[in-house]
Chains A and B, each alone.
Chain A
Amino acid sequence: MTGTQLNALEVKNLVVHNTALTAVRGLDFTLPAGGRMGLVGESGSGKTLTALALMGLLPMGWQANGTVHHDGVDLIAQSDRALSSRRGRTISMVFQDPLSSLDPVRRIGVQVSSVIRRHTNVGKREAESQTIELFRQMSLPRPEQLMRAYPHEISGGQRQRIMIAMALACYPQLIIADEPTTALDVTVQKQVLRILNAAVKDRGCALMMITHDLPIIAAMCDTVAVMYAGRIVEMGPVAEVFRNPRHHYTKGLLDSQPTMDNIALDGSSRLASIPGMVPPLHSLPAGCAFHPRCAAATEACMTRVPPLDDGSRRTACWHPIEASVAMVTA
C-alpha cells in the first residue's frame, strides 16, 4: 500500500528469465508519479525485456519474478486479462518501430479513436474529435485528412507521432518509450522528442525513456539508471550521474561520445572507447560483469558481485570513481 499514490512504479527484485537464461537479474527502483527516468545500456543489457515485463508483454517462454507496484496493484501478480485492460489506460508504451505496431489495413483515425473508446465511455464522434485534437497537439499536419490515411501513406516521423498520440490518448500515469526515435533521421528525431517531452510534461504523467543515446536522456529525464548485463550499475539524478559518473562503465560510455569538445581541429583526436565487448548472457563473468573491460578491476571485482547501494545516488562498484583516487593514495 505504501506510497502507491506518490509513485508511478515501485520495482523490487525484478528478474526476467526463460528456461535457459536470466536476462534481467534483479532490478530495484522507484519512479515517482510524474517522474522521468532514463534507462540506458548497451544492446542486450535487458532494457526491452524490462519494459515488456512491466507491460505484461513478454515474448513466449520468458517469465518475470519479483514485484512491480503500479496504481495500487502488483503487475507481476496480475492475470493477463487484468493487464490488458490496464494497457493503454494507466500504463502505455511506445515502441521503436511504429510500422509493426500499427495495423496496415486500418485507417489511422480508426486505430487511434478505438483506443479511446476501449478505455473510456465516450461515443464514436467524441472519440474522433479527441483524436483530431491529439493529432493537433502532436503538430501533425492536416489532422482531419490524416484520420483517413493508412500507415504506409505517411512518413516515419509522422507515424511515430501517431504512436505517441495513441499512447497518450487515455491520460496514462506512465508512458514507457523504448528507443522511440532510433529509426528516425536526426532532424525528425529532435522534433518527435520535443513533442513527446511537451506532451508528457503537460499531462504530468511519468516517463520511462529507454535508449542507448545519452544526450536524449540528458534532455528529457530527471533520473537515469545505467544497465549492464541485466543489472542496474548506477542510478541517480541525471546531471550528477553524467557530470560525475561513479561507475567505470558509465564513465566509459560518456567518454566515448563524439562531441564538439573532443574533436580536434587537426584531426588528431581519438575517442576514448571501452575495450572489449558486452559479454553474452550464457557466459557472464563472475563478480562485477564489467570486470573484463574495466581498468580499475581488482580481485574483489572478479569474485564478488558489487551491490547497488541505497540512497539518491546509487552505484554498484567496489571502487567507485571518486573513492578509487583515495584508495590509490592510501
Chain B
Amino acid sequence: MNAPVETPLLGRPLLEMRQVTQTYSLARPTLLGTRPSLTVLDHIDFDVRPGEAVGLVGESGSGKTTLTRILTGMEKPREGHVFYNGADIWDGDGERWRTFRRSVQVVMQNPRSSLDPRMRIGVSLLEPLRSLKIEGDHATRVFEVLDQVGLSRQALERYPHEFSGGQLQRIAIARALMPGPKVLIADEPVSALDVSIQAQVLNLLKDLVNNLGLSLVFIAHDLSVVAYTTSRVSVMSAGKIVEVGKPMDLFVRPQAEATRNLVGAILTVESGLAGNALA
C-alpha cells in the first residue's frame, strides 16, 4: 500500500520550483548586533502537472504562503528556480513573463479583502484583463466565466458588500479565471467560509480541474479539506517538505512527525461523538 507515489501520466511539470530557499532578515536584537536571518523556505522542490490537483499542508508559520508568493512570481527566491513550462520565469524576456503572469492565477483566503469594496463586480472582473493588457471580446469572456463559477449576470452590477462570503469567493475565483490561466493556486480558499458554503466552493474547484483541465495547487492547514480536493499532497514543516503522498496514505500511514500531528489534529463528528477525541 505504501508504494512511492506514482507519477500520473500527465507529462512533465507545468509549474515547478527547484531547490528554492527564501530567507528574511529580521530586526537587530541589540544596537550593535548582527541582523539575524530567518530561513522560511529551505531547498524546496515542488511541482504541478497539467490537469493535476496537488495539495500543500502544514502548520501555521511553516511557509505555505511564502511558497505561494514565490510560485506566483510575487516574490523572487533568494536561491533556486521557478520554471513555467520548462522555462525559468526570472530569466527571460517580457513576453515570457507576461505569459507566465496570465497562466498562473491565485485565489486568497479572504475574498472580502481581495476585492475592492468600491468597485462593481463587473469592473473587478475586467481588472486583470486590463492590467495584463489582454485583448479580445471582454464581455463574452465575463459571461463565460460567470457560467463556469455558477453566478448570474445580475452579479456584475452589484458591489462586494451585497454578497455572502461564499458568493464572494466564487467571484474571486471568477476573477482569477478571467485571463484564462492554466494553473490556479488557492491559499486557504475556504477557511473563512461556513461549512455548507465550503462544500460548494470545494466542489467548484474540483469541477474546474475536471472540466477545464486546470492545474490546481490547494493550500491549507486542514488535511481533510486538502484530501478531498487533490490527488497528491506535500506536507510542509518549518520551511521543508517533509513528506509527499496520496491523501489516503497520509491519513492511514503518516510517516513524518509533522504529518502525524496534522492527522492527529483532525476532529470529525464521529471521533467527537466517540468521546475520546480530546483525551
Contact = CB atoms under 8 A, between A and B. Distances in A.
B196 A270 contact: no
A215 B277 contact: yes
Interface in A271-291: 271-274, 277-278
B60 interface: yes
Given A273-B200, A273-B203, A187 B269 contact: no
B129 to A, nearest CB: 28
Contacts of A215: 267-269, 271-272, 277
A234 B202 CA distance: 27
B273 interface: yes
Contacts of A189: 265
Interface in A11-28: none
Interface stretch (B12-20, B73-81, B217-225): B217-225
Interface stretch (B23-31, B95-103, B113-121, B159-167): B159-167
Contacts of B196: 42, 252-253, 256, 273-274
Contacts of A219: 267, 271-273, 277-278
Contacts of B83: none
Contacts of B203: 270-271, 273
Nearest to B247: A263
A109 B185 CA distance: 43
Contacts of B212: none
Interface string B200-228: 10110010000000000000011011011
Contacts of B279: 194
Interface string A232-264: 000000110011000000001110111110110
Contacts of B221: 185-186
B223 to A, nearest CB: 8
Given A193-B278, A215-B277, A257 B269 contact: yes
B273 A243 contact: yes
A216 B167 CA distance: 26
B42 interface: no
Contacts of A210: none
A184 B271 CA distance: 20
B148 interface: no
A325 B277 CA distance: 34
B262 interface: yes
Contacts of B267: 190, 213, 215-216, 218-219
A138 interface: no
Identify which of B167, B251, B273 gathers the most chain A CB atoms within 10 Å of its CB. Answer: B273
B231 interface: yes
A208 interface: no
A272 B231 contact: no
B268 A259 contact: yes
A36 to B, nearest CB: 12
Contacts of A194: 278-279
Interface string A286-303: 000000000000000000
A272 B272 contact: no
Nearest to B266: A186
Contacts of B248: 260, 263, 265
Nearest to B198: A256
B32 interface: no
Contact of A271 (B228, B246, B261, B262): B228
Contacts of A258: 198-199, 202, 224-225, 227-228
A187 B198 CA distance: 20
Contact of B167 (A220, A265, A277): A277
Contact of B268 (A187, A212, A260): A260
A217 B222 CA distance: 18
B3 interface: no
B243 interface: no
Contacts of B270: 218, 259
B224 A263 contact: yes
A188 interface: yes
Nearest to B196: A274
Contact of A187 (B199, B227, B246, B262): B262
Interface string B141-180: 0000000000000000000000011110000000000000
A48 B165 CA distance: 18
B272 A278 contact: no
Interface in A110-160: none
Contacts of B45: none
A239 B270 CA distance: 9
B272 A218 contact: yes
A197 B278 contact: yes
Most buried by A among B222, B230, B272: B272
A186 B222 contact: yes
A291 to B, nearest CB: 15
A2 interface: no
Given A43-B165, A185-B221, A215-B272, 13 more contacts: A186-B59, A214-B195, A216-B267, A216-B272, A217-B272, A254-B269, A259-B224, A262-B228, A263-B224, A263-B228, A267-B53, A267-B230, A271-B202
What 6 pairs between A and B have smallest CB-CB spacing? Answer: A218-B272, A219-B272, A273-B199, A256-B199, A215-B267, A185-B60
24 contacts: A42-B195, A43-B165, A43-B194, A184-B60, A185-B221, A186-B59, A186-B266, A188-B60, A197-B278, A214-B272, A215-B271, A218-B267, A218-B277, A219-B278, A239-B273, A242-B269, A262-B228, A263-B247, A265-B246, A267-B206, A269-B228, A273-B200, A277-B164, A278-B194
Interface of A: 42-43, 184-190, 193-194, 197, 212-220, 238-239, 242-243, 252-254, 256-260, 262-263, 265, 267, 269-274, 277-278
